[in-house]
């Protein structure tokens, strides 16, 4: 039973990673690609590590796998946010079908200050 559950978790993880790779290939702009990759790959790593810990059945392997998952869940979204913000401020264009741009007109490139909609400097 453990072998089947382990293989199922690994298959689910591989499926999420496949979805992440398809998102990187098929989505139209950098921001959508990063969103797809961050969400799906994080879930893929979670299920792969879960399958790995079930396969080996050792507490030390489980703790290591949990450490990998926690590290990935903390760092991947933060890194993606920072990279997307840097890309936006450096002028990477949005996809032409993007419905709204919440930061447009609220960031001064010369002073690097982000302002509220009423023009006040954000704290």
Task: List pLDDT tens digits, range 15-68.
Answer: 999 999 998 898 888 888 888 888 898 999 999 999 999 999 999 999 999 999
Tens of pLDDT, residue by residue over 97-118, are: 767 676 676 777 677 677 766 6
Average pLDDT over residues 68-86: 89
Instruction: Between 96 and 3, name the one with better pLDDT.
Output: 3
Report pTM: 0.76
**pLDDT number for residue 119:** 57
Distance, C-alpha 8 to centroid of its chain: 23
Taken as a whole, the chain contains a residue count of 123
**pLDDT number for residue 45:** 94
**pLDDT number for residue 56:** 94
Q: Is the pLDDT of residue 70 over 90?
A: yes
b/e 88-122 (16+ beta carbons within 10 angstroms → b): beeeeebeeeeeeeeeeeeeeeeeeeeeeeeeeee
CA angle 76, 107, 35 (to 5 degrees): 25
Reduced to 3 states (helix: H, G, I; strand: E, B; else coil), residue 48 is: helix
Instruction: Between 90 and 64, name the one with better pLDDT.
Output: 64
**pLDDT number for residue 9:** 96
Closest CA to 63 of 48, 44, 49: 49
**pLDDT number for residue 115:** 75
Tokens of 63: 């703790």
């Amino acid at each position: 039973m453990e072998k089947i559950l382990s293989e199922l978790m690994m298959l689910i993880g591989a499926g999420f990673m496949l979805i992440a790779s398809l998102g990187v290939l098929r989505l139209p702009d950098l921001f959508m690609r990063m969103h797809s990759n961050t969400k799906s790959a994080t879930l893929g790593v979670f299920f792969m590590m879960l399958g790995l810990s079930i396969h080996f059945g050792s507490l030390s392997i489980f703790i290591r796998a949990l450490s990998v998952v926690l590290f990935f869940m903390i760092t991947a979204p933060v890194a993606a946010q920072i990279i997307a913000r840097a890309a936006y401020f450096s002028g990477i264009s949005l996809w032409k079908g993007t419905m709204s741009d919440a930061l447009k007109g609220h960031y001064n490139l010369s002073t690097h200050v982000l302002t509220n909609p009423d023009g006040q400097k954000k704290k």
